[in-house]
Structure 1
């Protein structure tokens, strides 16, 4: 009789985890916002000039 060699399939999940980790590193390095956000500063623009010489 002939001998039949059977190879087990290698798991795919380590490749999936590796791709997710590489994607996270690429996102962190290239796609993150490099300018810090400051929510404490508020810029206000007066649309109507105020005349301080007249009193009501």
Structure 2
């Protein structure tokens, strides 16, 4: 008889979890970057001479 080699499939859930984590980190960095710019740009100094 001939031997039939059976290869186990690599788990796809591991790849999906890694992609979700990387996507979440990119989204978090993108959102926090824009929030810091909007807060600093809304500050207005009162420079009127009295």
How many residues align structurally? 35
> Map of 1:13-52 to 2, 5 A cutoff?
13-30=13-30, 32=31, 33-34=34-35, 35-36=38-39
Extract unaligned runs of 5+ from structure 1: 37-56
Q: TM-score, normalised by structure 1?
A: 0.54
Runs of 4+ in 1 over 3 A off after TM superposition: none
Instruction: Name the one with the larger helix percent.
Output: 2
RMSD over aligned CA atoms reads: 1.2
Ranges in structure 2 where 5+ consecutive residues have no aligned partner: 40-50
Give TM-score scaled by structure 2 length: 0.59
Structure 1 or 2, whichever has the larger Rg, is: 1
